[in-house]
Structure 1
Amino acid sequence: MPEHPRNKVITAWAVHAFTLTGIIWATLALLALIDNQPKLMWLYLGIALVVDGVDGSMARAAEVEKYAPNFDGVILDSIVDYLTWTFIPALFMYTTGLLGTGAASVILLLLINVTSMFCYANAKMKTNDYYFMGFPAAWNIVALALWFIGPSPGVTSVVVIAFSILTWAPIAFVHPLRVKRLMPVNIAATAVWIGASALMVAGYPNAGPWTTALWIASGVWLVALGVVRSAAAAWKSA
């Protein structure tokens, strides 16, 4: 028996509501940052990351464009992403001193927030095989890594400038839940990275060697996929 259209509409709006929780997690993360509770902030950003990772598949399965056409989930998703992937992590780097002090830190903060808009507003951000083309403004991942490593402001400045430039670079970055090539392995690597990150945040500033090794290995795997994809595309066009 076919499902009643009313149930389809309810399901579509339920998916939108699920995506909308990203605003809640972003707000709570910002409050935790203001209260100088970085571990709590990363917890909320981690929850937002998981929501962002699965809501797209849910939206496509629920056919939200057909059954809830007057509410643009893509715009909502972009707003949540900008807050949780870029804006709050950038503020975290600024308030914790990772960006240094004085005018230079403000310039780096502005550089992150402004260049990221060229990712979110880029109509051709994804390739036909669902890789991101150029650095996808994943400043939450960069900020987390810098927090773990604790480099000097000079090194952080170089990292921020480099990733800002990579926004326009013809380098692919994998979307682990959409790229079909090695998808089960990519999803597993993503789950390992998230789990290892959670353990490292909980134990900060101390991290076990095995947790660190898993965090590095899973991260290298995901980055390497984009490097291989970029090299193959360059070889093909040469």
Structure 2
Amino acid sequence: MQDQQIADRDEFVHDKPMTPHARAIAVHLFTATGAVFAMLSMLAAAEENWSLMFVWLVVAFIVDGFDGPLARRYHVKTQAPEFDGVLLDLIIDYLTYVFIPAFALFQSGLMDGWTGWFAIIVITFGSAMYFADTRMKSKDNSFSGFPGCWNMLVLVIFALQPNFWVSLALVTALAVAMFLPLKFIHPVRTERWRPLNLTMAIAWTFFAGWAAWVDFDPESWAHWGLVVTSLYLVFAGIAQQVIPEKNGGA
């Protein structure tokens, strides 16, 4: 009889669903895995294993794509307020979007000499200020100014390996764009053109992972996919500013 009571109790415990607080904590823990992937990426970068570095950055990018919707679904702000999910996300984003890509751009020699120093100073300093700017989000949940997604630019530079003057021009233009009144879409949260935005973001992630997996083989079709999806993600928000929104639709 006692054994049966213990078995019934264990079955009840195992079948009991997670509490709202436990689910919210699980989301925070999921977000925090991005820090682990950032460290794995940095270790690969320290060994100049650029392909593996970008593979881990893509994994971190995927985590970043899922944790926001999960956080809103499980109301982490109210169910687990003891952890600041926004701050946690920003810390990890600075590592994976800014710090590690800037290091890779400098250490790889793709931007050599004074251009490399210029790039890492502009990228890290400008992004630190942008990430702390309380005006970074617009009313439609897009970004006001280039959102410091340097991981995306640097991966494209690794894939295409353009002339360093082209790389310098791109870094300079996007660094300035962080503080201009230009709109950049959030693929998940920007409602206008959301299906297309999300499709392009998923496609970019696929092409980025593919390019890194084949060690940036110049013959890979992934590079064309990266160019097309990158151009869309950069200019879609600006296009939305130019193209008037129809009443009740995109």
What's the offset of the Cα at 1:150? 1.1
TM-score (norm. length: structure 1): 0.90
d(CA) in 2 for partners of 1:123 and 1:171? 16
RMSD: 1.9
2:27 paired residue number: 15
Instruction: Say whether 1:84 aligns with 2:69.
Output: no
Shift of 1:146: 1.0
Superposed displacement of residue 132, structure 1:
0.7
Equivalences for residues 41-120 of structure 1 within 5 A: 41-101=53-113, 103-120=114-131
Give me the whole-angstrom Cα distance separating, in 1, the residues matched to 2:104 and 2:91: 18
Asked whether the 8 Å contact 1:33–1:92 carries over to 2, the reply is: yes
Aligned residue number for residue 196 of structure 1: 207
Determine the structure 2 residue equivalent to 1:148.
159
Shift of 1:209: 6.0
Q: Could you list the per-position Cα deviations for residues 115-155 of structure 1 after superposition, in whole angstroms to 9, with x for gaps in the alignment?
A: 01222011111111111111101100110111112123333
* 1-structure distance, mates of 2:220, 2:44: 28
TM-score by length of 2: 0.86
Judge conservation of contact 2:137–2:143 (CA < 8 Å) in 1. Answer: yes
Deviation at 1:214, TM superposition (A): 2.8
Aligned residues: 229
Instruction: Show the 5 A alignment for 1:207-226.
Output: 207-208=218-219, 210-226=221-237
In the alignment, what sits opposite 1:30? 42
Shift of 1:8: 0.5
2:229 & 2:29 partners in 1: Cα distance?
A: 31
- Percent identity between the two aligned chains: 32
Match of residue 131, structure 1, among 120, 136, 142:
142
Q: Which has the larger radius of gyration?
A: 2
Q: Secondary structure at the match of 1:69?
A: coil
Give the distance between the partners of 2:214 and 2:17, measured in 1 at CA: 48
